[in-house]
Chain A
């Protein structure tokens, strides 16, 4: 039972354009969401997060949107750069405060020069 789903395994965009990565979840008790980026031969690194009490969080070129009614979040990267090419994971935390995160399957983003 995949509680956090990233249905697009890969995405390819042109440099300078917008990249939109999507994530769906099934558990309404998730209250905090994070995006991680992973380069080959490295561990995932934190990118941006959002609490369930918000619907948007912005950090430079990265913006995360949360639609709680649809149980959907998205990561927007504008403008996309070749260095953004990586695997992106979304993750969710349950409100029971266990500290555990549930990760999606990941989306591989390729930004073409």
Chain B
């Protein structure tokens, strides 16, 4: 079974709808991240959480919110989706005690806003 899972894997929604993307991990890591990937722009950080009570904005947080329901779960919400939020979204985790700064990624969610 995958260590980092994301649901749904694909989603098509309409402008103005609220949508939630979910991420779960079984790695026991304390840190979790949400990124979006756009062609030519690479991976950009939306939000990150270093533990359940520590949530921080990344470089492109406008239009998004997050919730860290438990150490293993981190969800991303689009309160009112707009077409330029069409992108590939990735959740990632890391272990603050490992010393190697490596992040482990989920398989991604392809979101299309029409």
Contact = CB atoms under 8 A, between A and B. Distances in A.
Contacts, number: 55
B42 A49 contact: no
Nearest to B4: A43
B105 A89 contact: no
Contacts of B101: 32, 34, 49, 93, 99, 101
Interface in A71-113: 89, 91, 93, 99-101, 103-106
Place the interface of chain B in its size category: 20 to 34
Given A43-B90, A44-B105, A103 B48 contact: no
Do most interface residues of chain B lie in helix, strand or loop, or is the interface mixed?
Answer: strand
B71 to A, nearest CB: 15
A105 B40 contact: yes
Interface-central residue, A45, A99, A103, by most chain B CB under 10 Å: A99
A41 interface: yes
A105 B42 contact: yes
B103 interface: yes
Contacts of B96: 99
Given A43-B4, A44-B105, A46-B102, A103 B90 contact: no
A18 to B, nearest CB: 24
